[in-house]
Structure 1
Amino acid sequence: MPNRVRRILLVQSLYDSFILTEDGQLNDAILRQFVTLNLTQNPDLIRVSTGAEALDLIGRQRIDMIVASIQVGDMNAAELARKVAVVSPDTPLLVLAYNNRKLTDFTASNDVSAIDRVFLWQGDTRILLAMVKYVEDRANVASDTGLCGVPAIIVVEDNVRFYSSFLPVIYAELFIHNRSLIAEGLNLSHKMLRTRARPKVLLCETYEEAWAYFEKYEANILGIISDIEFPREGVLDRTAGVKLIKRVRAQRQDIPIVLQSSIADNERLALDLDAKFLLKGSEVLLHDLRRILIQSFGFGDFVFRMPDGREVGRAHDLRELIEKLAEVPAESIAWHGSKNHFSNWLKARTEFALAERLRAKTVAEYDGLEQLRADLIKVLSDYRRERDKVVVADFDRSSYDPELSLYRIGGGSLGGKARGLAFVNRLLNETRIGDRYPGIRIAVPRAAVIGTDVFDEFLETNELKDLAIQCESDREISDRFLAAPFPREAFEDLKVFLAQTAEPLAIRSSGLLEDSPYQPFAGVYKTYMLPNRNKSLDQRLIQLISAVKRVYASTFSQRAKSYLGMTPYRLEEEKMAVIVQRVVGSARDDRFYPDFAGVARSHNFYPTPPLKAEEGIVAVAAGLGRTVVDGATCFRFSPAHPQVQIGASSMHEILDNSQREFYAMDLSREPVRTDAEGDEMVLCNLAEAEKHGVLAAIASTYSPDNDRLSEGIGRPGMRVVTFAPILNQNLFPLAELLRELLEIGVQGTSAPVEIEFAVNLTVPKGEQPEFGFLQMRPLAMASEAEELEIGHVLSSQLVCRSDSVLGNGRIADLTDVIVVDRDTFDRSRSAEVAAEVARLNAKLQGEDRPYLLIGVGRWGSNDPHLGIPVQWNEIAGARVIIESGFKDMQVTPSQGTHFFQNLTSCNVGYFTVNPAAGEGFIDWDWLSAAKPVEQSEFVRWLRFDGPLLIKMSGRTGEGVVLKPGADG
């Protein structure tokens, strides 16, 4: 294999590269495979953030392959590819996109001819390995297959999402097969020869390309995996795959062939051609592909050898390497050192800085072999201690250190949410923000993350996956999961972790797809809170394992399945990691809660002067953060203008929109076997918070005698949560700290971000107040490529007008409307309204008819005082949503909630109107006069002969809904 990728240039934001180099641990998922395959030849990864930096680097250094995001700072990938083609025409440039919709827009609006290949990130860290091997195989097929007879597999697929999903699977299975050959090698040269025998994978998009490969390498073609529909003679041919295979079969009857199609009936065509068939829409497509392909490859330990080849020790990880260095003969250390084996092995675990540090010093520079041994042990030990402060450490029962922030139990990926925590840990360490706030402990609360391999083992060992995918009863799935044994190694790890953890715990989901910008899955999976107070460790462990199993079960809940149905992903592609995390707070009587918690966003979707969109917004409430994320009443402020009260046009409005209750954990209640989320959470009134000393820092007092608010609680009167003592008197630098953390997050991700946090001020004497950084995710931002002008519209043509609109573009294909009647709506029966809306949503989704949804109050709020408590999947068919204020109360956009996060990420148009306050307009009379298809006490389903026209300007925040037939 003469052409190898030794230097890869990643042109990506820090966050994008972090997904590849930290999530799932490249050292386990990717580079260990490089070291096993290529032994001493492992690629270097170099990252830059902008196209300009990339071009400068290419002009000065040799680069074998470039991997770029769609947007690379100062230019997009298409522009970068054209410039690379000029300065370095032989350097392949591949694009790794992180969202299918963005990729579609990019390829449709740009000339991508200079890009060698486009791939789509779908949560599998092996994608980078597949991209490297794709480049190498394409470059080496002529020499390795054409001259040396190395076999090849032809893969024909023009759909980016599909080949990005199964190409890593194909390579993984080939590597396992290849490793079994490598293990039989008699010496290093023999092993290298076996390594080079790994079959090539030749990815094609057209009939002509595939046939050219077959004609040229026919004698060495190991098999063909082909789609049925792809381009032939320059046009899309619905039977191109059949034509190709018939032509192949005319010359070779013995070649294994797999045909793929989205049409189940095409299985007959495959059978007629003596080919296997894969249904693309199958929930178990990847499993079936793995079953058809050859077996997979693994990775090995560091094996200490003497110069004559004798094995004298073996190390599985860095800790064992340090231990073995103290035991093995010095001659073995010197031999490995002279060949840079330590450096290569460490590079396979993404320990790049340490690998380069060891490589820089030769064995000859030491006075003796024992000095070499001592120096290696010291360098490795010092590095391990420093590294473990900022990375996710693998959990080891014999060396568990409860002072470290994040541990991984089991292998596999961390999942999206935990990946965000790991990234936050890194940002906090690199920016040293704690040094600027010396009186505050700013940290990610201590946590153990149960990796996705444990999830896979749990499902496989107990044969639960098929049941979970097919079963339509959440209760049955949960019962089966709870009854199934938990993997023993993870069980024992959790027991050790729990033995040294006395605080309450949050058991949080962290799915592979969770917290991505365009499908965040916010609030879709379960979180459970455990008091963790039982005197018996065994009982606490049982409660913890049960909670983990329930989180696993929520992966297959009807809500999750419904949400996944709106995305391009299959349920089998989702894997669940679980975060077991200390809850930030203090015990106060039988309650446990922080002083306050909230959500901060770097982008304010609804700024009002003097606030600006880019200055962000914070939603915060006393007690646990569920108040904010569930859409209940909370306090909002801009971190740039903390003294400006948002939505406070009158004292009546301030009082009406103030927090009256808060969430806390009930420490007196033992967890029970149930699927109800938040069993141990209770709603408490503000009097309890005042008794516990919490309100002094976050409340003001209302005096009805003079209709005024006074900061603090030093006088009698009604307590109002205003955060005035903190924001005005700077008792705690909340606004300043959040402003800086948001800036750090934006810089690190190259995108707007949202963070969840909790603050505990009432701490024991001698301890610092704690700012717990609970989560960070990139924010979904709607595309505003189309400059859309709303223009003048006659009032008689309007169904709705709003100056508070989220979304951009024209929608002219909706004829169905679900509307909650403002005149009949009863807040005390909001759950009935939610159920009726969910029923109609399911009906319209079944007919594939998106619709306009109009309601009063806040959609998705669990507080009946504020709105209608629907879950996201219960209104997922709505293309546009309108929230209207009540007759007696205004509604504010629900920024900071899980519901709002899903709404923005799914590109749903969102109108807010308060006609009673002169903010927008809805023609309720016209809606009431329309003849319904169905009507209940509170909800009406309307269908019009012609479509409504909806126009939204993302630039101005304006929007209108026009009646059918109106001239828009």
Structure 2
Amino acid sequence: MGSEVSGRVREDKLASYFSWDPCNDDRFASSIVGAGHIGGKGRSLLFGMKSLLESGFDELVSTEMPESIFISIEAFDKFLSQIDDLDNVLEGEPERIEQRFLDAELPSYVRERIASFLECIDSPIAVRSSSMLEDSLKYSFAGKYRSRLLHASGDLNERVLAIENEIKRIYARTFFPTAVEYRNKHKLGDDKMGIIVMRASGKWKGRYYFPTTAGVGYSLNLRRWCTRLNVEDGLLRLVFGLGTMSTRRGYARIFSLSNPNLRPEGNHPYNVMRHSQESFQMIDGDRGDIVTYNINDKGILDYLLTHYGRELGEYAQVYREDDGNGYWENLDLSYFRQQEDDSKVCITFERFTRHNPDFFTRMQKLLKHLEDSMGAPVDIEFAYEPSERKLELLQARPLWTGCCESKFDERDLEGKLVILKADRMVTDGQLENVPYLVYVDHKIYVTAANKHEIARAIGEINKKLYPNSYILVAPGRVGSSNPALGIPVQYSELTNCKCIVEVGIPVLGFMPELSYGTHFYSDLEIDNVLYMPVFAGEKGNVFREEWFESTCCEKMQDLGIKIYKGSFDVYMDCARNIGIVAVRKGTCDGENMEDR
């Protein structure tokens, strides 16, 4: 598959994409504040809009971009120039850097333009980073800087001040350890920051503001969940409410654009329920910030019914138990009159999928057009109001595809024991002679009260094993913000990990999830960290638990962590949808890290 993906990169188109300057385009020049470059995220978004407007296809030309202004790098340079003793400030702690930036003044022309922009908008505002290095084909900087959705209340001056402070906080993040360490790791040098100030997608529905649906999209599906799907089919990760939920390792609906009804988790009601979104996010007009609710929370269903009525049934269904076998019912008005203890509402998008085939063909066409225009596979962020068929483009950029050729052959397994095998969601890749495997025992983790302590311990092991690499095998979702779904380890705590295997144990609630669009997933792709999910007990999957129980290892008993020393190989073949972790027989000796 590696050659297939690399063949999709058109150097001539890519050169045109990078050389295009929105300042020279009358359609966009008036929205640019200051002179010069507006940063990668802003420029790529405007290029995407240019491409769609010039496409000649009505369903693409009708794509909108929320009202926005783009503050150039020039403003960042001028802002820094008037901070006394800047070098010493930047050597301080992050809190000190941020405070000094908040005390400084933005250029007057920036403040004036923000004021004129806000005069015409009463919606919440998104303030987003758009640095020079975010123009890179490979490095997305997802989650490394700061973007914020807020509803600044009060008079115009108060609203302007709130936006100004967010811009200063983003400027400060350029020099925070997370960003600096990331740039140093990839030898990228210094960065400069542009800013996007954008009307947030959505509508006021009473006290709250949010779009009905939002998500991320890819022109390639690099991790197919069955061989019926093709890499070039494209993929969406869709959520109800603010798109902030689509970039986290939580639940979202995954769609192949060529076959939207084909679910990664299959069609068994229980599995669908386990993978369905329940929590969603909105902007609270009273608090001026993002709030998260579960659709089953008291009062939330009534609120949604008030503003959506029967339309809510396009996105949500009722799951009921029946002697241990679940089943689905459509969400209708009777549910609100008499709720039963054995039921709950899940956001499945089931009826939406059946009733909106044109949405999926539109998105597939949009992604393919952007890919052709930019000269490389693309990823986007978007919001969509189904009742109006209103599609807003929020981000569009080339997609890094760092996969390699698969050289796996069954003969590679001679003299080795397969301890893990996956049958879906794998890309091409290969590792040989990995010296360590770190395993988190699901039986201990499921009842552990110290799940965050387990995550921090993984980070310490990561440091102790340096410069050696390792494979991490853990239940559920590695990097989950919800410890009940998987280990809440930070990506920065896995710097020496070369392969992550998520083990699904359905009876314990641990289910891997295809997390395209999340910041965690983007880091894996950029750093060429291999990933595969293993579903224990399912056909085509292998989780050789007896090997993990009987093989010599170093144990952190209280935390359920085991460290195996040996010679481990990883083989992944996208074309056949096979992922394997094998150990060379006779290589595990149980050496302790303290002995090294």
Q: TM-score normalised by the shorter chain: which range applies?
A: 0.7 to 0.9
Q: Secondary structure at the match of 1:737?
A: helix
Which residue in 1 is equivalent to 2:591? none
CA deviation profile, 1:99-119 (whole Å, cap 9, x unmatched): xxxxxxxxxxxxxxxxxxxxx
Q: Pick from 512, 522, 525: which aligns with 2:142? A: 522
Change (3 A) 1:959 1:719: closer
* Contact 1:726/1:733 (<8 A) preserved: no
Q: Pick from 930, 935, 956: which aligns with 2:576? A: 956
CA deviation profile, 1:729-763 (whole Å, cap 9, x unmatched): 23x8321211111111221123222111111346x
Change (3 A) 1:442 1:562: same
- The CA distance in 2 between the partners of 1:500 and 1:855, in whole Å, is 50
Quick one: which amino acid aligns to residue 477 of structure 1?
I
Alpha-carbon distance, 1:796 to partner: 6.7
Alpha-carbon distance, 1:528 to partner: 1.0
Which residue in 2 is equivalent to 1:905? 526
Matches within 5 A, 1:476-625: 476-514=96-134, 516-532=136-152, 534-570=153-189, 572=190, 574-604=191-221, 605-625=223-243
Which residue in 2 is equivalent to 1:867? 486
Matches within 5 A, 1:628-667: 628-667=246-285
Q: Does 1:690 pair with 2:308? A: no
- The CA distance in 2 between the partners of 1:938 and 1:691, in whole Å, is 47
* Contact 2:45/2:397 (<8 A) preserved: no
Alpha-carbon distance, 1:932 to partner: 5.2
Change (3 A) 1:13 1:724: farther
- The CA distance in 2 between the partners of 1:418 and 1:780, in whole Å, is 18
Name which of structure 1's ranges 638-647 and 682-691 shifts more when overlaid on structure 2: 682-691
- The CA distance in 1 between the partners of 2:106 and 2:119, in whole Å, is 18
Which residue in 1 is equivalent to 2:21? 22
Q: Does 1:747 pair with 2:362? A: no
Alpha-carbon distance, 1:942 to partner: 2.4
* Contact 2:17/2:374 (<8 A) preserved: no
Question: Alpha carbon RMSD of aligned pairs, Å?
Answer: 2.9
- The CA distance in 2 between the partners of 1:588 and 1:596, in whole Å, is 14
- The CA distance in 1 between the partners of 2:51 and 2:540, in whole Å, is 41
Change (3 A) 1:467 1:928: farther
Alpha-carbon distance, 1:622 to partner: 0.6
Alpha-carbon distance, 1:514 to partner: 2.0
- The CA distance in 1 between the partners of 2:484 and 2:100, in whole Å, is 37
Alpha-carbon distance, 1:567 to partner: 0.8
Alpha-carbon distance, 1:429 to partner: 0.8
Alpha-carbon distance, 1:648 to partner: 2.4
- The CA distance in 2 between the partners of 1:651 and 1:470, in whole Å, is 55
Matches within 5 A, 1:40-79: none
Q: Pick from 669, 680, 685: which aligns with 2:290? A: 680
CA deviation profile, 1:589-616 (whole Å, cap 9, x unmatched): 2211110111122222124143222112
- The CA distance in 2 between the partners of 1:613 and 1:465, in whole Å, is 48
- The CA distance in 2 between the partners of 1:843 and 1:478, in whole Å, is 32
Quick one: which amino acid aligns to residue 429 of structure 1?
L
* Contact 1:811/1:950 (<8 A) preserved: yes
Alpha-carbon distance, 1:807 to partner: 4.6
Unaligned regions of 5+ residues in structure 2, if any? 1-9, 588-596
Q: Does 1:821 pair with 2:438? A: no
Quick one: which amino acid aligns to residue 841 of structure 1?
N
Q: Please say which structure displays the higher CA radius of gyration.
A: 1
* Contact 2:131/2:192 (<8 A) preserved: yes
Alpha-carbon distance, 1:930 to partner: 5.2
Alpha-carbon distance, 1:939 to partner: 5.3
Quick one: which amino acid aligns to residue 481 of structure 2?
N
* Contact 2:225/2:264 (<8 A) preserved: no
Q: Which has the higher contact order (CA 8 A, sep 6+)?
A: 2
Matches within 5 A, 1:135-534: 387-389=25-27, 392-394=28-30, 407-433=31-57, 435-436=58-59, 442-463=63-84, 466-467=87-88, 470-471=91-92, 473-514=93-134, 516-532=136-152, 534=153
* Contact 1:607/1:613 (<8 A) preserved: no
- The CA distance in 2 between the partners of 1:792 and 1:842, in whole Å, is 31
Alpha-carbon distance, 1:582 to partner: 0.7
CA deviation profile, 1:921-965 (whole Å, cap 9, x unmatched): 234443455555572633536262x53222333443323222245
- The CA distance in 1 between the partners of 2:553 and 2:86, in whole Å, is 43
Change (3 A) 1:713 1:745: farther
* Contact 1:700/1:721 (<8 A) preserved: yes
Q: Does 1:759 pair with 2:396? A: no
Q: Pick from 231, 239, 244: which aligns with 1:626? A: 244
Q: Pick from 354, 367, 374: which aligns with 1:728? A: 354
Quick one: which amino acid aligns to residue 235 of structure 2?
I
Change (3 A) 1:423 1:681: farther
Q: Secondary structure at the match of 1:917?
A: coil
* Contact 1:701/1:715 (<8 A) preserved: no
Unaligned regions of 5+ residues in structure 1, if any? 1-10, 26-349, 351-386, 395-406, 671-678, 763-767
CA deviation profile, 1:448-471 (whole Å, cap 9, x unmatched): 111112122222321475346534
- The CA distance in 1 between the partners of 2:442 and 2:415, in whole Å, is 20
Q: Does 1:831 pair with 2:452? A: yes
* Contact 1:808/1:953 (<8 A) preserved: yes
Change (3 A) 1:621 1:660: same
- The CA distance in 1 between the partners of 2:47 and 2:274, in whole Å, is 39
- The CA distance in 2 between the partners of 1:929 and 1:559, in whole Å, is 40
CA deviation profile, 1:56-81 (whole Å, cap 9, x unmatched): xxxxxxxxxxxxxxxxxxxxxxxxxx
Q: Secondary structure at the match of 2:537?
A: helix
Alpha-carbon distance, 1:619 to partner: 1.3
Which residue in 1 is equivalent to 2:470? 851
* Contact 1:883/1:891 (<8 A) preserved: yes
Change (3 A) 1:719 1:424: same
* Contact 1:586/1:760 (<8 A) preserved: no
- The CA distance in 1 between the partners of 2:192 and 2:550, in whole Å, is 49
- The CA distance in 2 between the partners of 1:617 and 1:484, in whole Å, is 44
Which residue in 2 is equivalent to 1:274? none
Alpha-carbon distance, 1:625 to partner: 0.9
Alpha-carbon distance, 1:695 to partner: 1.8
Q: How many residues align?
A: 558
* Contact 2:52/2:370 (<8 A) preserved: no
* Contact 1:932/1:941 (<8 A) preserved: yes
Quick one: which amino acid aligns to residue 578 of structure 1?
I
Alpha-carbon distance, 1:481 to partner: 2.0
Quick one: which amino acid aligns to residue 16 of structure 1?
A
Which residue in 2 is equivalent to 1:4? none
Q: Secondary structure at the match of 2:42?
A: helix
- The CA distance in 2 between the partners of 1:799 and 1:460, in whole Å, is 58
Which residue in 2 is equivalent to 1:6? none
Change (3 A) 1:864 1:484: same
CA deviation profile, 1:445-497 (whole Å, cap 9, x unmatched): 111111112122222321475346534x3323222222222222222222222
Which residue in 2 is equivalent to 1:326? none
CA deviation profile, 1:219-262 (whole Å, cap 9, x unmatched): xxxxxxxxxxxxxxxxxxxxxxxxxxxxxxxxxxxxxxxxxxxx
- The CA distance in 1 between the partners of 2:110 and 2:11, in whole Å, is 35
Alpha-carbon distance, 1:775 to partner: 1.1
Q: TM-score, normalised by structure 2?
A: 0.86
Alpha-carbon distance, 1:410 to partner: 1.9
Alpha-carbon distance, 1:709 to partner: 2.8
- The CA distance in 1 between the partners of 2:471 and 2:432, in whole Å, is 11
Name which of structure 1's ranges 13-22 and 713-722 shifts more when overlaid on structure 2: 713-722
- The CA distance in 1 between the partners of 2:135 and 2:485, in whole Å, is 27
* Contact 1:807/1:907 (<8 A) preserved: no
Change (3 A) 1:455 1:640: same
- The CA distance in 1 between the partners of 2:365 and 2:371, in whole Å, is 10
Q: TM-score, normalised by structure 1?
A: 0.54
Q: Secondary structure at the match of 2:528?
A: coil
Quick one: which amino acid aligns to residue 658 of structure 1?
S
